[in-house]
Amino acid sequence: MTGRPGGRLEGKVALVTGAGSVGPGWGNGRAMAVIFAQEGASVFLVDRDEESVEVTAKQVREAGGTVVTRVGDVTDPASVEAFVDGCAAELGGLDVLVNNVGGSRAGGVEQLSLEAWNDQLQVNLTSVFLGCKYAVPHMRAAGGGSIINVSSASGLRYTGAAQVGYASAKAAIIQLSRVTAVQYAAERIRVNTVVPGQLHTPMVEARLAGQRAGGDVAKLLEQRQARIPIGFMGDGRDTAYAALFFASEESRFVTGAEIVVDGGMTVRCD
C-alpha cells in the first residue's frame, strides 16, 4: 500500500514520538508512522533508538511516504524543543503531534522505589507535558492542529498487575489532555487521547513476558487474552487507526475525548 493523494492526512505534517519498536511487528508508534504516511502525511519520527526508528522510516518510504527521523529524549526539555522546532523547520509545519512514549515498572506503593516512581512519571507523563508545551506555539501560529496523547487501559482500571507509577501517570494523561483541550479549543488546537488495552505488540516478547510470566510468552498471551471479550488481541495498528481519526479532519468537532482500544476489556464486570 502506498501513500496517496486524497488520503485522510494529505498535506499534513505529523510528528510521532516513540516511533521505533523494541522488536519486529506492529508497535503503536511504528504503526502510526506507517499508516499516517499511507494516508498522505509527511512524518517526523522520534525515538531514542536510532536503529529502530530507521527501520520504521524504511517502512514509511516503502509506503511512498516522506519521512525525517531524529534521535531524541522525550523527558529532556531541550531535546523536545529541538525536535519539535526541527519538525516545523524541515517539513514546513506541525499539524499533528502524537505523544506516544511510555513504559511500565512493576510494583505497588511499598515495592516501587521513589526513584522508580519519579522515573515513571517522567517517562509516561512529563514527556506528554513537554510535547504539548512545545507544539502548541507552532499550532497556534498555523491556526490549529491536533495533539494525540497515548494513555493506557491501566489508567482506567486495574489490569492484573500492580504498577502504581505507570497506572497513575497514564490516568493523569487523560486529565492533562482534557484540560489542555479546553484551554486551546478556541485556537482550533484539538487534544484527544487514545487508550490502548492489552495489545499484542513487540513489547510482550521483549519485556512484559519476563516481568510477569517468567519469560513464558505463551502463558502471558493466554492471561491477557482471557481478559478480552471480543475474542482476539489487537496490535499497534488498532491504536494507529484510532489516532488516525483524531489526526484527520473527520474529528474536527472532537476535542477532550478518549477512544478506548481494548476489545471491551475495561467495561466487563469480572
Cα–Cα dist 159/267, whole Å: 12
Cα 106 versus chain centre, distance:
20
- Residue 39: DSSP 8-state: T
Non-local (6+) Cβ contacts of 177 within 8 A are 147, 149, 151, 191, 192, 193, 256, 258
Marked catalytic residue, from 158, 166, 184, 241:
166
Amino acid identity at 231: G
Report which of 152, 173, 174, 149 is spatially closest to residue 163, judged by C-alpha positions: 152
What is the edge-to-edge ordering of all strands in the sheet holding 189-196? Answer: 67-71, 42-47, 13-17, 96-99, 145-150, 189-196, 258-261
Active site annotation includes 241: no
Q: At what angle do helices 164-184 and 114-121 cross, to 10 degrees?
A: 30
φ, ψ at 99 (rounded to 5°): -90, 100
Report which of 43, 44, 17 is spatially closest to residue 29, judged by C-alpha positions: 17
Q: Which residues are annotated as catalytic?
A: 166
